[in-house]
Structure 1
Amino acid sequence: MTGNGSGNFYIYKIAMVASIGGFLFGYDLVIISGALPFLEQELGLTPALKGFAVSSAILGAISGPLVGLWCADRLGRRKTMMLASFFFMISAVGSGLASGIWDFGLWRFVGGLGIGLAMMSSPIYIAELAPPQMRGVLVNVNQLSNVIGINLAVIAGYFFSFDGWGWRWMMFSEGVPVVFLIMGLLVIPESPRWLVAQQREGEALKILEKINGRRRAEQELQEIQAGLRQEVGGHFRELFQPGIKTAFIIGTILMIFSQINGVNMMLLYAPTIMAEAGVNMGSSAILSSIPVYFIIFICTLLAFPLIKKFSRRGLLLASVSLMALGHLVMAVNLQQGWPPMYTLIPMFIGTGAFTLGFAPLSWIIVSEIFPTRIRSKALAVVCFFLYLSSFLIAQFFPVITDHFTRNFGNASGVYLLFAAICTACVWFSWKKVPETKGLSLEEIGSFWRKNGTKDGFAKNNLLERI
C-alpha cells in the first residue's frame, strides 16, 4: 500500500473506531442532564444527592487514569480501550436497573472509570499510529466524536423524556454505541510504537506498511527503535528529569486550563444558564441548549482545516483570546441586563472559540509531547489532574455563581474571573507551549532529552532546536 490513498483511508478507519470513546464521553456528559429531573422525582433526591448523581461519573473518571497506568503499558493501548468499553457496558446496564441513588452512583462511577481509561488511551493510540502531517487532524476526530455524542444525547434525552422507565432507557441507550466500539476494537491493530517497545518489531512493521508503504515503514521503524534506545525504562521518576519535567508541567497546566476556563461550564450548565436568563426554546429544558450544542458541532468540523493550515500555538492563542472576549461580553450582558436572547451571543463566542482551537489542541499537544516509554504514564497523571479540576469546577461553579448573585445582584463577576483565567492561559501558552506541528513523535522526544531545559524554546518549532 502507499502512504497516501489507501494508507490514509486505513488510518482514518482506525481513528474513527478509537474515537468512539470520545463519543461515549460526550454522550454520557449530556444524557445525565436529561435523566436528572426524572431521577429527582422518582428517587426523591436532595440538591446534594443531585450533585452526587452527576459527579459520581467524574469521580470515576478521576480514578480511570490511575487504573490505566498499568493497563496502557502492560496490556497495550487497544486492550485498554477494550477494558474501557466493558466498563461502559456494565455502567449502562447497571445504572439503568438501579433501584436507589447509591447503586446508581456506583454504576455511574464504573462508567466514569471507562471514561478515564478511554480518554487517556484513545488520544495516545491515535497519535502513535498517525503520520506526523495527519496527527493533529486525526486526534481531532476524537473531539468530533465527543461533540456528536453530545448532540445525539440531546435527541435521546428528549425522545425518552417520559415518566416511569424513561430515564432508565436513557441510561440503557449508552450501551448501543458500546457494542459498535467492542466490534471495532476486535479488528483494529495495536499501536506500532507499543509493539516495538515490547520487542514485537515484525507486527509493528506490518501495521506501519499499511499506513505509509514499505519504504517509509522501514524508515519509521528504525526511528522508533532509535528513539526507544535513547529513553530509559519508562519509570515515574523520569517525569521529573530535566526536559521531561518541563513537558510534564506544560501538559498538566494546559489540561487544567482546559477545564477551569469557564467554557465547559457554559456547556455543562447551558440549559440552566439560559433558563435563568429567560431563554425558553422548548418544553424540555435540555432542548434550550440545542443552539449551543449545534454551534460546537459546526465549529468542530471547521477545526479540521484550521488545525491542518495553522500552527498549534497560533491557533491556541487565538482561540483562548476569543474565549476571554466571550466571558467579557457575558459579564457586560449580565451587568447591563440585556434581553434574554443576547445571552446566546457570548455563549456562541466562548464555546465556538473553545471548540475551534483549545478543545482539540489541548489533547493534540499532550498526546504528542511525551517520549514513547513515558507517554502513557504522563498522560495518566495529566488526565488525573484534568478530571480532578473538572470535578472541582463543576462542583463550585453553582456556589460561586450564587455568591456573586446574592452579593452583587448578578453573576457578572464569575465571567470576569473566567476572563482573567483565559488571559493567564494566553500568557502561559505564549511563553511555554512549544510548536510541534509536522514533527514525528521521535523528533519531539529527542528535543526534550537534548534541549528541554533551555529557556525560550516555546517560540520556535522544536525541529529548529534539535
Structure 2
Amino acid sequence: MTIESLPGSSGYIDAGNRKITYFSNGYVLGLTVIAGIGGLLFGYDTGVISGALLYIKDDFEAVNNSSFLQETIVSMALVGAIIGAAAGGWINDAYGRKKATLIADVVFAMGSVVMAAAPDPYVLIFGRLLVGLGVGVASVTAPVYIAEASPFEIRGGLVSTNVLMITGGQFLSYLVNLAFTEVPGTWRWMLGVSGVPAVVQFSLMLFLPESPRWLYLKVINHKPLLCFLKFYDPCRLEEEIEQLSVALEEERQRKNSVGYWDVFKSKEIRLAFLAGAGLQAFQQFTGINTVMYYSPTIVQMAGFSSNQLALLLSLIVAAMNAAGTVVGIYLIDHFGRRKLALSSLSGVIVALIVLSVAFFLQPSGSSTGLYGWMAVLGLALYIAFFAPGMGPVPWTVNSEIYPESYRGICGGMSATVNWVSNLIVAQSFLSIAEALGTGATFLILAGVAVLAFVFVAVFVPETKGLTFEEVERIWKVKAWGSGYASEGLLEEGRES
C-alpha cells in the first residue's frame, strides 16, 4: 500500500481509494474539539482577569491600594501554569493523556469555585494558583493527545484547532466581561463561569479512549487495537501498527522511565528540545501577550483616552487573533510549519517597526492624530501576521518532534518555557516602556523577532506530512550526520 500526497496539498491524501480531509473521520474531529476545551480554558483564563480586576479593586480596598496585590492576582495563574506544565509532562507519561486531562479539569473547576467564593484577596490568589495549575497541565496534554490521535497528513491542522480554542477563549472572555458588567457580584461571575467548560470537558472525556499510541507502548492488553479502529481506516491500520512495533522495540532498549536529565543526555533529543523550547520562548518574547494583556493600555498610550474605545479595540484585536488562527489551521498543513513561521515572523518584524516608529514620531503629550492611528495599524498588522503562524506553529511542532517516550516530558518542559517567558513579558513590558519609552520597547521586540527568524531558519526542520517515526529520523540525521540515513536504509533493505 502506498500513500501519496496530492499535488500542492497535504490536507488531502490518497489512502487506498479514499481521500483524508479534516472532516473524514467524525470521531477524530470530535476528540479534537473535546480535547481542545483545555485550550479554551487556557485562553479564557488569560483574558478574563483584565476585566475582572477592575471590579475586584472596587470590592477589596486592599487590592485597590496595592499595585503589588493587583500584579499578584494577575500573575499567580501564570505561576500555577508554570508548575502545572512542568508536572504535566510527567503526569502524561506516567498516567496517560486522558487521566492528565481529567486531573486538569478537576483542579481548574476547584479553582473556579474558590475564586468565585473568595472572601478576601488572599483566597482569590489561591484560586488563581489552582486554575493556573489546571491550565498548565492542559496546555501540555491537549496538543499531544490530539497529535497522537490524528492521521499524520492532517495532524498540523487538528493540533492547531487547540490554538483556535485558546484564541477563541480569549475572545469569549472579553464578551463575558461585557455581559456581566451590570450584574451584582460582577467579577465573581466572570471568574466562576470558567468552571463550566471544565465540567463539560470532564464529562465528555469519560467517554473517550486513552491515546492509542500511549496504550500501545505501555502494552495494555488489546485496548490499543480497538482504539486504532476508531481513528484509522482498515487500510491504514496495518501501517500504523507496524510503525509502532518499531517504536516499541526502540523503547524497550531504553530505560523504562525517562527523567528530566535524560533529555539532555541524548544529542538528538537535545536538538529536538532546543527547537521546541526555542519556538515557545520566541512566541512570547516577540510580544504576543504584550498585545493581548496590554492592548487597551497601548491604545491609550497612542493618544486614545476613551476607556470604551480602548476596550472595543481590544475586542477587535482578540477577534482578529481568533480569525487569524483559522487561517493558520488551513495553511499549516498546506504551506508547512517552517515556512509559515518564517513568513509570520517577517510580517511581525514589519508590524513592530511600524509600532516603534509611530511612538517615536508621536509628539509628547499629543492627542490622537496620524501617529495614533499608525500605532493602531501596527497593532492590527501584528495580529494579522502573528496569529496564523507563530500562534499555532510552536504548539504543533512541539506535539510531533519528540519520540514517544520523551513526548510528554519534553512537551511539559517546553510548555514551561512558554509560561515562564509569558510571565517575564507580562511583568516587564510596562516597566521597560516607562524606563526606555514605548517606541524603544517595540524596537527591542522587533530585534527579538529578527533573532527568532534566524533561529527558525537554522534549527527548526519542516515536519509537514511526516510520521512521528520520520520526524525522529530527522533528528538522528542532524545529530549523527547523513551516514545515519544511509545505514538506516541498508538495515531496512536487509530486513525486507
Q: Report TM bin, short chain.
A: over 0.9
**2:325–2:391 CA contact under 8 A, matched in 1:** no
> Which SS does the other structure have where 2:462 is aligned?
coil
Deviation at 1:3, TM superposition (A): 8.0
Deviation digits for residues 44-73 of structure 1, max 9, x if unmatched? Answer: 211111100100000000000232233211
1:296-326 CA-to-partner distances (Å, cap 9, x unmatched) read 1221111122112112111110101111111
Paired residues for 1:71-220 under 5 Å? 71-162=91-182, 164-200=184-220, 202-220=222-240
Q: Distance in 1 between matches of 2:378 and 2:371?
A: 13
Match of 1:359 in 2: 391
Q: CA separation in 2, counterparts of 1:185 and 1:278?
A: 48
Change (3 A) 1:69 1:310: closer
CA distance in 2, matches of 1:116, 1:13: 23
| Larger Rg belongs to | 2
Q: 1:375 aligns with which of 397, 403, 407?
A: 407
Instruction: Name the structure 1 match of 2:301.
Output: 276
Deviation, structure 1 residue 375: 0.7
Cα shift at 1:218: 2.4
CA change 1:456–1:259 in 2 (3 A) is farther
Which of residues 465, 469, 477 is equivalent to 1:451? Answer: 477
Give RMSD over aligned pairs. Answer: 2.1
Does structure 1 retain, via aligned residues, the 8 Å contact 2:361–2:371? Answer: no
Q: What does the per-residue CA deviation read over 1:215-249, in whole Å, with 9 as the maximum and x for residues that have no partner?
A: 31122012112112113234124312121111111
1:235 aligns with 2:261: no
Residue 217 to residue 3, structure 1, CA distance change in 2 (3 Å): farther
> Could you tell me which amino acid in structure 2 is paired with residue 373 of structure 1?
S
Aligned to 1:438: 465
Q: TM-score, normalised by structure 1?
A: 0.93
C-alpha displacement of 1:445: 2.0
Native 8 Å contact 1:281 1:287 kept in 2: no
Percent of aligned pairs with the same residue?
31
Which consecutive residues of structure 2, in runs of 5 or more, have no partner in the other structure? 1-14, 363-369, 484-488
* Superimposed CA distance per residue, residues 186-240 of structure 1 (whole angstroms, 9 cap, x where no aligned partner): 1111101100111026211222222222231122012112112113234124312
What is the SS of the residue equivalent to 1:439?
Answer: coil
Local SS of the residue matching 1:425: helix
**What is the alpha-carbon distance in structure 1 between the residues aligned to residue 454 and residue 480 of structure 2?**
18
* Deviation, structure 1 residue 84: 0.5
Q: Which amino acid aligns with 2:336?
A: S
Q: Could you tell me which residue of structure 2 aligns to residue 253 of structure 1? A: 278
Residue range with higher mean Cα deviation, 367-376 or 249-258: 249-258
Which range moved further: 82-91 or 158-167?
158-167
> SS at the partner of 1:243?
helix
Aligned residue pairs total 453
Give the conservation status (yes or no) of the 8 Å contact 1:228–1:373.
Answer: no
- 8 Å CA contact 1:263, 1:323 repeated in 2: no
For 1:285 and 1:42, the matched residues in 2 are separated by 23
Distance in 1 (alpha carbons) for counterparts of 2:287 and 2:89? 29
Q: For 1:114 and 1:316, how far apart are their aligned partners in 2?
A: 28
| Structure with greater helix percent | 1
**Structure 1: gaps spanning 5 or more residues:** 406-410, 458-462
Q: Partners of 1:285 and 1:106 in 2: how far apart? A: 30
Letter in 1 for 2:258: H
Q: In the alignment, residue 120 of structure 2 is paired with which amino acid?
A: G
In structure 1, the partner of 2:288 is 263
1:55 aligns with 2:79: no
1:147-201 per-position Cα deviation (integer Å, ceiling 9, x unaligned): 1111111111011114751111101111221222112211111101100111026
Separation in structure 2 between the aligned mates of residue 455 and residue 355 of structure 1, nearest angstrom: 35
Say which is worse superposed, 233-242 or 251-260, in terms of deviation: 233-242
CA distance in 2, matches of 1:225, 1:200: 14
User: Structure 2-normalised TM-score?
Assistant: 0.87
Residue of 42, 66, 72 corresponding to 2:59: 42
Which residue does the alignment assign to 2:312? 287
- Aligned-pair CA distance for 1:341: 2.9
**TM-aligned CA deviation for residue 343 of structure 1:** 2.1
